[in-house]
Amino acid sequence: MWGGRFAAGPSAIMREINASIPFDKALWRQDVAASKAHVAMLGARGIVAAEDAATISVGLDQVAAEYEANGVPVDFDLEDIHMTTESRLAELIGPVAGRLHTARSRNDQVATDFRLWVREACEQADAGLHALQVALVTRAGEHAGSIMPGFTHLQTAQPVTLGHHLMAYYEMAARDRSRFADARARMNKCPLGAAALAGTGFPIDRAMTAQALGFDGPTANSLDSVSDRDFALDYLQAAAQCSLHLSRLAEEMIIWASQPFGFVTLPDSLSTGSSIMPQKKNPDAAELVRGHSGRVIGCLTALMITMKGLPLAYSKDMQDDKSPVFEAASLLALSIAAMTGMVAEATFRTPRMRAAAELGYATATDLADWLVRQADVPFREAHHITGSAVKLAESRGVALDQLPLGDLKAIDARIDDRVFAALSVESSVAARTSYGGTAPAEVCKRVAEARVVLGLDGEGS
């Protein structure tokens, strides 16, 4: 490849460090598609004879068929997927293959291929998250009225419903989908035709190639076109945030499946045993999802540091842009699939959840709210009164609603027997009717809305 410029070939070290074919072979579909779009444009513009363009296009189809059947051969001398494809094309159709590279560079070629790949990765993440949302909404609908403790600081705070809890993750997934959609929209400009860095003197039609590849149009600056990796960083940032949400859900499943909690039994298909302790059922899939989030964040950090000091335009450092994106996409897809299966197949132990909700004086806020509503007590004063009631109940080892009315009146005379209707966990959750609250009626409304958005009932996506 370099014979016209260098008298000697590359050293073995240079040959290995310079080659990207071991990982960029993953771009072969995008490389063939972009090459076909490019040669079609060259033929249409008369830059390459029509018959040569047709021959090249047929040859590219044959190369693609070979890759599909046998994989991409790895030859370090050919360096990357671009030269590997062009070399095989030349073997199949002869010297006319050399016309394919007219009016383009590997710089705009890889920028286009990689952008196409990342665009598809955004679409795949969106599809996976849609499936996760379906699982969350389905289980939330089943458990709109199932009572469990809500936590702050991992301490019992107020009763909520399991459906409400699951719908919190639906909202997180919705924001994740929006981030991938935004990233896809921003990256949907085509670098092809920017050539090495300055554009080309050939009368190419960049709008034609952009349209053929499904882009909204060509990129506007040739220097930026070949040096931009914002699109990869956008994807990784969305993937990192998504992995954080998945990790939080995984952590909850791990905690809930532990014996002290006992809120959930995880599916056997996503659990493992112990080599020494026969009673163990380990939440390994959830733990791996939790661990994968760190690796995805590492991928984002790696590419950010690679790009932080690069002058315009292309530098060889940018060859290291693909590995972290490929790794993150693989980890993210596995994590989404694992958590989707876990949510869909888990057995929620709702009696245990309800019993836990009755512990820890979870309805204390309901007593304070009752004092505000029924006795016109300022909330700060009601908070103090309630704290005294909790202290008394705690000293006797009973729940708030088990304290005699006389003892409650001794704390504050404005308390009457109507208070007991507010102190059950059922009354507590039913009272939270504000928009987005945990009341079963509200949860059912949000589930119904989500089902429409997801296309489960009517229009949506």
Q: Exposed, middle or buried by CB within 10 Å (0-12, 13-18, 19+), for 153?
A: exposed
The answer to whether 11 touches 165, Cβ cutoff 8 Å, is: no
Residue 383 annotated among the catalytic residues of the structure:
no
The answer to whether 307 touches 258, Cβ cutoff 8 Å, is: no
Closest Cα partner for 337 from 383, 388, 288?
288
Which tens digit of pLDDT belongs to each residue from 257-275? Answer: 998 999 999 998 877 776 6
Tokens standing for residue 271: 């659990």
Instruction: Please work out, in degrees rounded to the nearest 5, the angle formed at the alpha carbon of residue 378 by the alpha carbons of 372 and 379.
Output: 70
Would you say residue 100 has pLDDT above 90?
Answer: yes
Given this model, what pLDDT does residue 4 score?
54
Average pLDDT of span 394-415:
89
The answer to whether 367 touches 423, Cβ cutoff 8 Å, is: yes
Given this model, what pLDDT does residue 358 score?
84
Average pLDDT of span 124-153:
97
Antiparallel, parallel or unpaired: β 155-161 and 147-152? antiparallel
pTM as predicted: 0.91
Output DSSP code: residue 269: G
Determine the Cα–Cα distance for residues 157 and 155; give it in Å rounded to an integer.
6
Given this model, what pLDDT does residue 127 score?
98
What pairs with residue 159 in β-bridges?
149
End-to-end CA distance of the chain: 48
In sequence order, the 6+-apart residues with CB closer than 8 A to the CB of 411 are 385, 388, 389, 392
Confidence of residue 328 (pLDDT cuts 50, 70, 90): very high
Given this model, what pLDDT does residue 1 score?
52
Which tens digit of pLDDT belongs to each residue from 191-239? Answer: 999 999 999 999 999 999 999 999 999 999 999 999 999 999 999 999 9
Residue 143 annotated among the catalytic residues of the structure:
no
Buried b (16+ CB within 10 A) or exposed e, 382-417: bbebbeebbebbeeeeebbbebeeeebeebbeebee
Single out the catalytic residue among 258, 274, 315, 388.
274
Single out the catalytic residue among 153, 269, 275, 434.
153
Antiparallel, parallel or unpaired: β 347-348 and 264-265? antiparallel
Number of CB atoms found within 10 A of residue 68's CB? 12
Would you say residue 158 has pLDDT above 70?
Answer: yes
